[in-house]
Amino acid sequence: MLPLRSGLRAFALAVLLILTTGVSHADPVRVAVAANFLSPVEAIASAFEAAGGEPVEIVSGATGQHYAQIINGAPFDVFLAADQARPARLLEKGLAIEGSVFTYAQGRLVLWAGEGHQLPDNGFAGLVDHPVTRLAIANPRLAPYGRAARDALQATGQWQALQPRVVEGLSVGRALHYLATGNVSHALVAASYTYASGRPGGAWVAVDPSWHEPIRQDAVRLVNAPNPAGARAFMTFLKSAEAQSILQGFGYRAAGEVTEP
C-alpha cells in the first residue's frame, strides 16, 4: 500500500510542478478570432511580438461559438469578431469593456468562378444571365459574408432568379470549399481568400461594396480578461499603421478607410 501511495504522491507532485512551471511564464495575450481573419491575425501577432509585445495565443473559430464561450467564462483577453452584433451584445451584458469596441477591419466580397467556368462579361451584375449551375454563399443567417452576398444579389435584382441554385455553406470558408471540390460553379466569398496560398483555381472579380451593408468586423476587450494589460497593448497595436497595412495585404479594408454612413 505504502509504495503505491508514495508513487501516487510523486506523480501528483510531478503534475503540479509541470502545471505551475507552465503558469510561471509571462501570461500570453489570448485572442479569440473569427476564422476568416486567422491568417492576418497570425501575421499581426508576429509583428506585435517582434515589436516587444507579449506572446499571443490565437484561438480561431466561429464568432457565435466564441460568443457562447465568453458568456460561459472563457479566458480570452481580446475578441476579434466577424461582425458587430456579438461585441455589441457582450457590451450589453457587461462582459466587454465600455469604449474598447472598434472596427478593426472591413471585409470585401468577390465573385469566384471555379476552374472550367467563366465569369460574367459585365461582372457580378451579369450573374443572372450567365450559366451558373450552383452558386455557393455563406449562410446569410449566420455569417456576415453570407448576408452581404444575399444583400448584393437582392440589390442587383438577381436574388429571385438565382435562389433555387444557391447553396449555403456554414461559413464563408465552406462556401469556397464547395467551389474547390467542383460542387458549385460560382461562389460569393471573402476577398481575403484570393490572397490565401492554398486558394482554389479559377477567376474572380470584386463585388461593388455599395451593393451591400459594410462587412464591419469589431474588436473588443473583455472584462474577465486574465491579462488586461496585454489586451490593451494588443488592441493599441491592432490600430497602428503597421497592423492596418498588414491586414490590407490580406484583402481587407483598413479601419481608417471606414467611412461612417
Partner 1 sequence: MSLSAVWISLQLASVTVLVLLVIGTPLAWWLANSRSRWRVPVDALVALPLVLPSTVLGFYMLILLGPAGPIGRFWVAATGETLTFSFTGLVITSVLYSLPFVVQPIRDAFAAVGRGPMEAAASLGARPIDAFFSIACPQSARGFLTAAVLGFAHTLGEFGAVLMVGGSIPGETRVVAIAIYEHVEMLEYGAAHTLSAGLLLFSFVVLVAVYTVNRARHPVLLR
Among 15, 68, 161, 229, binds partner 1 (CB under 8 A): 68
8 vs 68, beta carbon nearer partner 1: 68
Question: 86 is written with which cell numbers?
Answer: 456579438
Binding mask 117-146 for partner 1 (x = CB under 8 A): ----------------xx-x--x-xx----
At residue 123, the 3 state secondary structure works out as: helix
Report angle CA 152, 208, 168 to the nearest 5 degrees: 35
CB of 48 to partner 1, least distance (A): 30
For residue 189, list its beta bridge partners.
Answer: 110
CB of 163 to partner 1, least distance (A): 10
What are the backbone dihedrals phi and psi of residue 260, each rounded to the nearest 5 degrees, phi first?
-70, 140
CB of 167 to partner 1, least distance (A): 4
Q: How many residues bind partner 1 (CB under 8 A)?
A: 22
142 vs 153, beta carbon nearer partner 1: 142
202 vs 251, beta carbon nearer partner 1: 202
Task: Please report whether residue 194 would count as binding partner 1 according to CB under 8 A.
Answer: no
Distance CA 31, CA 221 (A): 10
Among 108, 147, 150, 177, binds partner 1 (CB under 8 A): 177
Task: Please report whether residue 64 would count as binding partner 1 according to CB under 8 A.
Answer: yes
Taking Cα atoms as reference points, which of 19, 28, 26, 30 lies closest to residue 55? 28
Alpha helices in the chain (DSSP H): 2-24, 38-50, 63-71, 85-92, 144-155, 159-162, 172-180, 228-239, 241-248
Among 7, 61, 123, 182, binds partner 1 (CB under 8 A): 182
Exposure of 114 in the CB half-sphere (CA atoms within 13 A): 19
Binding positions for partner 1, rule: CB under 8 A: 62, 64-65, 67-68, 89, 133-134, 136, 139, 141-142, 167-170, 174, 177-178, 181-183
